[in-house]
Structure 1
């Protein structure tokens, strides 16, 4: 039962944070950010927010710093939009799985072209 609730809360936080980051935050350090996932602890005290940032490593670092700075604003806005007794503490992390997946796909494509050339 608790897993179902944490999953629902995580999805709702993901949806609301996506809207907040895109429309409400005016910090120029924030680039093109996509919220890829949210993991909420069982007691709803913490939420790890996984982000995909378009750009170089410097852009990713700047976006993370800006989001950490706006953490209080984001939590207060989440509290207004989602009815929870306690809004979880937000921990922002860069999601490297998309880059990892595209790298694996490129490597597999290279293997396929090497095999065709050798035949």
Structure 2
């Protein structure tokens, strides 16, 4: 039963944070950012938000710094939009799965080229 609730809360956090970052945050350091996933602990005290940023390493680092700086604002706005007793602590992390997937796809493409030659 707890797994279902944490999953629903995670999806709602993902939806609300996406809207907040897109419409409310005006920090120019935040580039083209996508929230790829949210993991919430069973007691709803922490939420790990996985982000994917389009651009080079410097843009990724700047976006992460800007999100960490806006963490308090995002958490308070999230608390207003989602009715929970305690708003979870937000921890932003990079989602490396997109880059890893494109790397694997590139390797598979090279293998198929070698097989045809």
Q: Please give the TM-score of this superposition, normalised by the length of structure 2.
A: 0.99
- For residues 33 and 115 of structure 2, the distance between their equivalents in structure 1, rounded to whole angstroms, comes to 38
- For residues 23 and 94 of structure 1, the distance between their equivalents in structure 2, rounded to whole angstroms, comes to 21
Asked if 1:42 corresponds to 2:42, the answer is: yes
Runs (4+) of structure 1 exceeding 2 A deviation are: none
- For residues 32 and 21 of structure 1, the distance between their equivalents in structure 2, rounded to whole angstroms, comes to 10
CA shift for structure 1 position 67: 0.3
- For residues 86 and 32 of structure 2, the distance between their equivalents in structure 1, rounded to whole angstroms, comes to 29
2:5 corresponds in structure 1 to 5
User: What are the within-5 Å matches in structure 2 for residues 19-38 of structure 1?
Assistant: 19-38=19-38
2:104 corresponds in structure 1 to 104
Superposition RMSD in Å: 0.4
- For residues 96 and 55 of structure 2, the distance between their equivalents in structure 1, rounded to whole angstroms, comes to 13
2:92 corresponds in structure 1 to 92
Q: Please give the TM-score of this superposition, normalised by the length of structure 1.
A: 0.97
Where structure 2 has 5 or more consecutive residues not aligned to the other structure, the ranges are none
SS in 2 for 1:106: helix
1:66 corresponds in structure 2 to 66
SS in 2 for 1:28: coil
Write the deviation string for residues 48-94 of structure 1: whole angstroms up to 9, x where unpaired: 00000000000000000000000000000001100000000000001
